[in-house]
């Protein structure tokens, strides 16, 4: 009896080796991913992960996949630098991983980036927008809107709206500080004046004191550089206090989460910088529909960016088949000059190693963004 079982098991094993051999030409390429999947930032990390997974499934079905089977392994960094570093060491040890996507937070990417750079493995972030990310080294890339580009756009947009005095409210992390200070700089270069500026605690739930102080300076616009949970509370509280000062929102706030959390009334009429909205292109609109059908919710900018970056990484790898290595991916990313994805054709500047995105100004009406101009 024992022998019969053993024979059966061995036969099964032999058969499974046999079937593997048939697919020998199918090469498997594994990508790593690190993002905050638990903890306070999990809402953003989940968007990234969904964007990556959708990209992999769709790319796999397209003819471009070139007989390569792509897989992704997502690790949770909880938004913490030390976890990001540990994950980096793990991915570097795993020789089947050819490149790593992530993270969400600039703080984590800036900590893990040097580890990848030293090990000569590509780390590309679709989100982290701190100016220093691409300065870490030749193996650290990003494909996301950079703060300097958004800041210049915001300053210009505010000026063109007729604003001469603005109040600036942000959150004190790498994102909020870079976003508000570069917007402020661009607006001041135009000749505008920042009459009030304050960083608020991201975990607070009452921002009325700050908002009332901002309104007292009679600004033409209040600029908010924060994420949806804080901005939603601010917009609700502005309405609650009867403050009628118009509001301009940073690009990260062009997300369905804002109207969901604040309610359509509170966001009505707010101006916002638009980068990933479905109104921008048929490709984006189509992406929105597919994402919605799959996950039952509209994608935010983080999901859209993650999808686009993963698509680019896979098309580089697929084109190099069968000679895909960690080094070849780095070269592919260095040599690329443009990528045609859901944002239309975006260009890579090899001098700054940054991508240039198309930005538009939007106004929120009936809970959704309409592009103006």
Partner 1 sequence: MDAFVLGQLAIGVSVGMTYSIVAIGLTLIYRVLSAANFAHGEVYTIGAFTTLIGATTLQLPLWAIALLVLAVGAAFGWGIERAAFRPFRKFTDEASLKSRAVREATLLSSFALGMIVREALDQVYHGEWLAIPQEFLLNEPVALGSVTVSVGEMVIASVSIAMLLALQMLLYRTRIGIAIRAVSSNLVGAQFSGIDINRVIVAVFIVGSLLGAVAGMVLSLAYGNVQSFMGLTVVIKAFVAMVIGGLTSLPGAVIAGILIGLAESSAGIFLPSAWTEMVAYAMLLLTLLLMPQGLFGRRRS
Q: Between residues 133 and 211, which has the closer beta carbon with respect to partner 1?
A: 211
Q: Between residues 29 and 258, which has the closer beta carbon with respect to partner 1?
A: 258
Rounded to an integer, what distance in angstroms lies between the CA atom of residue 278 and that of residue 371?
A: 10
**Tokens at 33, concatenated:** 């991913």
CB of 287 to partner 1, least distance (A): 21
CB of 107 to partner 1, least distance (A): 17
Burial of 368 per CB tally in 10 Å (0-12, 13-18, 19+): middle
CB of 365 to partner 1, least distance (A): 17
Rounded to an integer, what distance in angstroms lies between the CA atom of residue 161 and that of residue 296?
A: 36
Q: Between residues 241 and 372, which has the closer beta carbon with respect to partner 1?
A: 241
Q: Between residues 127 and 146, which has the closer beta carbon with respect to partner 1?
A: 127
- Whether 276 and 304 have beta carbons less than 8 Å apart is answered as yes
- Whether 120 and 325 have beta carbons less than 8 Å apart is answered as no
3-state SS of 297-357 is CCCCHHHHHHHHHHHHHHHHHHHHCCCCCHHHHHHHHHHCCEEEECCEEEEEECCCCEEEC
Q: Between residues 39 and 114, which has the closer beta carbon with respect to partner 1?
A: 39
DSSP-assigned states of every residue in 170-224: E-SSHHHHHHHHHHHHHHHHHT-EEEEEEE--TT-S--HHHHHHHHHT--SEEEE
CB of 263 to partner 1, least distance (A): 4
User: Which residues, including other chains, have CB under 8 Å from residue 135's CB and lie 6 or more apart?
Assistant: none
* DSSP E strand boundaries for 36-145: 68-76, 97-102, 122-125, 140-142
Q: Between residues 10 and 241, which has the closer beta carbon with respect to partner 1?
A: 241
Q: Between residues 189 and 209, which has the closer beta carbon with respect to partner 1?
A: 209
CB of 250 to partner 1, least distance (A): 17
CB of 333 to partner 1, least distance (A): 31
Q: Between residues 189 and 240, which has the closer beta carbon with respect to partner 1?
A: 240
Which residue in this structure is represented by tokens 């009452």? 206
Residues at the site binding partner 1, with contacts judged by CB under 8 A: 37-43, 46, 172, 198-201, 203-210, 212-213, 216, 228-229, 232-233, 236, 239-242, 257, 260-265
CA distances (Å), origin 153, targets 129, 247, 327, 348, 359: 15, 16, 35, 18, 8
Alpha helices in 62-145 (DSSP H): 81-93, 106-118
């Amino acid at each position: 009896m024992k022998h019969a079982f053993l024979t059966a098991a061995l036969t099964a094993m032999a058969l499974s080796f046999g079937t593997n051999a048939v697919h020998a030409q199918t090469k498997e390429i594994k990508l790593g991913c690190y993002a905050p999947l638990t903890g306070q930032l999990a809402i953003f990390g989940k968007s990234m992960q969904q964007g990556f997974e959708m990209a992999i499934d769709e790319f796999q079905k397209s003819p471009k996949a070139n007989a390569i089977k792509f897989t992704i392994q997502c690790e949770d960094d909880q938004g913490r630098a030390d976890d990001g570093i540990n994950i980096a060491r793990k991915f570097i040890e795993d020789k089947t991983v050819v490149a790593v996507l992530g993270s969400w937070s600039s703080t984590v990417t800036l900590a893990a980036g040097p580890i990848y750079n030293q090990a000569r493995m590509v780390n590309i972030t679709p989100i982290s927008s701190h100016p220093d990310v691409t300065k870490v080294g030749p193996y650290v890339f990003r494909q996301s809107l950079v703060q300097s580009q958004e800041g210049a756009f915001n300053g210009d947009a505010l000026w063109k709206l007729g604003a001469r005095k603005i109040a600036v409210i942000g959150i004190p992390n790498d994102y909020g500080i870079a976003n508000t200070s570069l917007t402020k700089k661009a607006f001041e270069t135009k000749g505008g004046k920042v009459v009030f500026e304050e960083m608020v605690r991201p975990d607070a739930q009452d921002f009325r004191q700050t908002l009332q102080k901002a309104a007292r300076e009679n600004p033409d616009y209040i600029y908010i550089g924060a994420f949806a949970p804080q901005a939603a509370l601010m917009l609700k509280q502005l309405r609650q206090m009867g403050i009628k000062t118009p509001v301009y929102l940073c690009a990260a706030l062009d997300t369905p989460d804002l109207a969901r959390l604040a309610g359509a009334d509170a966001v009505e009429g707010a101006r916002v910088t638009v980068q990933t909205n479905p109104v921008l292109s048929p490709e984006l609109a189509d992406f929105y529909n597919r994402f919605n059908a799959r996950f039952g919710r509209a994608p935010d900018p983080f999901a859209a960016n993650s999808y686009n970056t993963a698509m680019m990484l896979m098309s580089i790898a697929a084109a190099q088949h069968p000679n895909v290595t960690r080094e070849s991916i780095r070269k592919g990313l260095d040599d690329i000059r443009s990528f045609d994805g859901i944002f239309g054709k975006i260009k890579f500047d090899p001098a700054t190693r940054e991508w240039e995105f198309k930005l538009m100004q939007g106004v929120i009406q009936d809970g959704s963004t309409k592009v103006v101009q």
